[in-house]
Copies of this chain bind each other. A is one copy, B any other.
């Protein structure tokens, strides 16, 4: 029978927590590090331990952060237009930042409302968001949640918060992706694209 030594098996099992890594690629990763890059492997181990222990959340927008405020919340120029963009994850925030178009601040939910999984408003920091809407000079809240059932439910909940506090709320447009081909776009997206049509 084929079997690994205990430490090797532990490493292969541990690598499988990474998204998209199955048993075969976990084994390939372990062998690759042991054969060719033990220094890199030890460096990755140290980076993981440091990151898991020391990366927290921005007290204002909840994105990943090693200090109280992230560099965006700490930048007064990002507060000038009073716009807050609500996203589901730090990865979504990165994607929007990379467009270079948005100049306001963010609120990072780090998940979506999901009663079945026990994820409620408190878990998404919506009390913090509510405080921000009340105290800061927020001119508009843009919902950039995922166009999924949970993303939609979360968007509706946050829109209610905005209505209560009389803050203007909008949602990013749903439609056909730029550069995409119409015949390959799914029906729901096409319907949204039609109902969201604008004067040309």
Partner-B contacts on A (CB < 8 A): 1-3, 5-8, 10-11, 13-15, 17-20, 25, 27-35, 37-55, 64-67, 70-71, 89-91, 94, 97-98, 100, 110-111, 183
Contacts and interface: CB of A to CB of B under 8 A. Distances in A.
Contact of A53 (B42, B65, B97): B42
A64 B32 contact: no
Given A32-B18, A37-B17, A49 B55 contact: no
B17 A50 contact: no
A29 B15 CA distance: 11
Closest 8 CB pairs of A and B: A45-B48, A2-B97, A14-B47, A45-B49, A17-B40, A14-B44, A11-B51, A41-B52
B11 A47 contact: yes
B19 A29 contact: yes
Given A31-B91, A42-B53, 15 more contacts: A1-B100, A6-B66, A7-B47, A7-B54, A7-B55, A7-B66, A8-B51, A11-B48, A13-B47, A17-B37, A17-B43, A18-B33, A19-B32, A28-B183, A49-B49
